[in-house]
Structure 1
Amino acid sequence: MKITAAVMRQKGGDFSLEEVELDEPREDEVLIRIKGCGICHTDTLPRDQVVPAPFPAVYGHEGAGIVEKVGSRVTKLKPGDHVVMSCNFCGHCDTCMTGQPMYCRDFFKANFGFARMDGTPTMHKGGEVVHGAFFSQSSFATYALGTERSVVKIPSDVPLELMGPLGCGVQTGAGAVMNSLRPQAGDSLAIYGAGSVGLSALLGAVVTGCAIRICVDPNEERLELALELGATHVIDPTKTDPVQEIKDITGGLGAQYSLETSGNLMALRQAVDSIQIMGECGMIGAPAFGSEISLDTWGLLLGRKIRGICEGDSVPDLFIPKLVELYKQGRFPFDKLITFYEFDRINEAVKDGEHGKAIKAVLRLD
């Protein structure tokens, strides 16, 4: 079928809206009419070749829309369902089978392979292959193909164009707190980075009852929003030493938990240094491949932990509906992070996100 997609044709380039041909869904696939799609930092990684990726290609991995068609083996979805598209996984390796699909042995292939798991493409333009299936969706388009595993049904009584970021960025930040670190009510948490992932983590910290919720970011407007969303303290790292400030806030101990969400290596070192004895630091931000930092090994010997977190350790079919319900109850107002753009303003939306003008840019499609 013919669709309109935002195609990237060169390193560091702009998107161009083009008519391309999308395959009909196979037996385990779902065709979705996209109503909204978030723009995530991860969408710039293949554009800038931070991860190896082919051109031309269609990105987008925070899609939300309405099911149009389902393959013969699809059982959990039907035409007309409202859905969020999330990441893909194989479903049969040891990590998938033990309920940890975000650490699927084939996670990179399933999401950054720019093809189906069997290597076949999903998009063409004339005789040219347009590399799709990014995160098994490529949802910078009017229609997208997903797999049954990667598509999550949500209630039809919430604004569908708002829901796409639940599939990646919001799920990642909130899940890092609610699923990975699991602080208890009354605990302390320091979050480095007040972008969409960091502020989603803050919302998760409010839900879990953290008593001390600290956000570290150099952007004054984002710190103001963090206070509005429930931060008890905010720190501008360009004006003070955040490690010392966090220790002062926590009575000299350091935070029980910290999160680094920006991919900044200096911030990661500070996040580790900010935790107390027996504390835990979660790393979400994605620095360039091969990046390294030095750590105080004696500090780690005192029971401190550092761990990487992918997609908030969530099982999308279980976690995304929980976030939707919390949103409906007014306890998870992630809509305050979002700025909408029409589809033909995609390049403006990407730039606004990169320059900090928009915390979470979301494309709105008809």
Structure 2
Amino acid sequence: MKAVAAVLREPRGPLRLEDVELDDPRAGEVIVRIAGVGICHTDLGACDGHVPLPLPVVLGHEGAGVVERVGADVTALQPGDHVVLTFDSCGACPTCRGGHPAYCREFVVRNSSGRRCDGSVTMRQGDADVHGSFLGQSSFTTHALASVRNAVRVNDDLPIALLGPLGCSLQTGAGAVLRVLAPEARSSLAVFGCGPVGMASVMAARAAGCTTIVAVDPDPGRRELALELGATVALDPEGVARGIRQLVPGGVDCAVETVGTAEVVDAALASLASPGRCATLGFRGPRNRIEIDQGHLLMGRTLTGVIEGDVDPHSFIGDLLALHRTGLFPFERLIATYPFEEIERAIEDTRRGAVLKPVLLMPGA
């Protein structure tokens, strides 16, 4: 099948729209006609070479669209089904069977090797390989090859072009709150960094019944939006740990850190009560050394890393859509749309913080 894809040929290089030939779906695979795809900071990190992918490569991992073809033995999906694409997992290892597919033992090879598990590529240009399978999909393209494991069926009365971010950034922030930290009703929670992941954490904290939700971000516009989405107070990062303790004597019960720097992780830990729990979500590449004050941990505080919200997307994306129907997860307020051919402008706007969650719309979407 022919497709048009945004191809990266060198680190920090441009993404150029080029014709590619998509492989036929094999057993367990599907081809999805992409309606819309979000741009995530993980895509930007891959563009900059922080994810060691072979080149040329097609990125994109927040795709959503309509199933167009299915491979052999695929019964869970059929042509015409609307799906949100997410990360891939094997479904058979102990962590997958235990309900933690984000920590699948085959996660790296399935999501960041640029190939299928057997070493084959999913796209070509003539005799030349084009690497794909990024987060099991490579959806910066008009058509993406995915599997039944990472294609989540959704109702066809939903705005499919806008749903892709549910498959990564939004489930990451919301899952960290609702599934990992799981704060009790009337508890307190602080969110450090109000990008799309942080905003999802704010909305999830509201849905969980937290009565004190502190949003921390240097951008006044983002602080204002966080207040509209459920935060009860919004603070500038300057002196934030002290400010939080003035607001919440003893510190907050939980914190979510979405930046990934030592300074922000330290501030998040310092804002906690004893005991208290902090989830770190900020991704700055697979090697990102930070130092923390052991005294934070000795006081009974916990720091845990979270990937993809530690959720099963096949159930959790439906949970988020249910919250959306009640008005508790209005994720569309984070989204700005761009035509697919303006992908470079969308990336630049993302890098300079002009938009929260850009979504590329495919022709005809």
Shorter-chain-normalised TM-score: which range?
Answer: over 0.9
Cα distance in 1 for residues equivalent to 2:328 and 2:205? 11
Cα distance in 2 for residues equivalent to 1:179 and 1:122? 33
Is there any run of 5+ residues in structure 2 with no aligned partner, and where?
none
Aligned partner of 1:296 in structure 2 is 293
**Superposition CA RMSD, Å:** 1.0
Q: TM-score, normalised by structure 2?
A: 0.98
Is there any run of 5+ residues in structure 1 with no aligned partner, and where?
none
Cα distance in 2 for residues equivalent to 1:344 and 1:265? 37
How big is each residue's C-alpha offset from its partner over 1:21-69, in whole Å with a ceiling of 9 and x where there is no partner?
0011101101100000000000022211112111111000000000111
Kindly provide the amino acid, as one letter, of the partner of residue 247 in structure 1: R
Aligned partner of 2:332 in structure 1 is 335
1:155 matches 2:155: yes
1:287 matches 2:284: yes
Aligned partner of 1:364 in structure 2 is 361
Cα distance in 1 for residues equivalent to 2:18 and 2:251? 52
How big is each residue's C-alpha offset from its partner over 1:167-219, in whole Å with a ceiling of 9 and x where there is no partner?
00001001110111000110100100000000011010010011110111111
Cα distance in 2 for residues equivalent to 1:116 and 1:103? 18
Cα distance in 2 for residues equivalent to 1:107 and 1:165? 20
1:115 matches 2:115: yes
Aligned residues: 363
Kindly provide the amino acid, as one letter, of the partner of residue 243 in structure 1: A
Q: CA deviation at 1:161?
A: 0.6
Q: Which moved more, 1:287-296 or 1:219-228?
A: 287-296
User: 1:282 touches 1:309 (CA, 8 Å); kept in 2?
Assistant: yes
Cα distance in 2 for residues equivalent to 1:113 and 1:288? 15
Q: CA deviation at 1:329?
A: 2.4
1:310 matches 2:307: yes
How big is each residue's C-alpha offset from its partner over 1:287-341, in whole Å with a ceiling of 9 and x where there is no partner?
2443323222233122110000010011000000111122122221000000000
Cα distance in 1 for residues equivalent to 2:296 and 2:45? 33
How big is each residue's C-alpha offset from its partner over 1:243-267, in whole Å with a ceiling of 9 and x where there is no partner?
001111102x111100111222211
Q: TM-score, normalised by structure 1?
A: 0.97
User: 1:247 touches 1:274 (CA, 8 Å); kept in 2?
Assistant: yes
Cα distance in 2 for residues equivalent to 1:293 and 1:111? 25
Partner of 2:35, secondary structure, is strand
User: 1:154 touches 1:324 (CA, 8 Å); kept in 2?
Assistant: no
User: 2:88 touches 2:107 (CA, 8 Å); kept in 1?
Assistant: yes
Kindly provide the amino acid, as one letter, of the partner of residue 267 in structure 2: Q
User: 1:269 touches 1:293 (CA, 8 Å); kept in 2?
Assistant: no
User: 2:40 touches 2:169 (CA, 8 Å); kept in 1?
Assistant: yes
Cα distance in 2 for residues equivalent to 1:21 and 1:37? 20
Alignment of 1:77-96 (within 5 A): 77-96=77-96
Percent identity over paired residues: 45
Aligned partner of 1:276 in structure 2 is 273
User: 1:284 touches 1:308 (CA, 8 Å); kept in 2?
Assistant: yes
Partner of 1:325, secondary structure, is helix
User: 1:74 touches 1:148 (CA, 8 Å); kept in 2?
Assistant: yes
Cα distance in 2 for residues equivalent to 1:286 and 1:46? 11
Aligned partner of 1:194 in structure 2 is 194
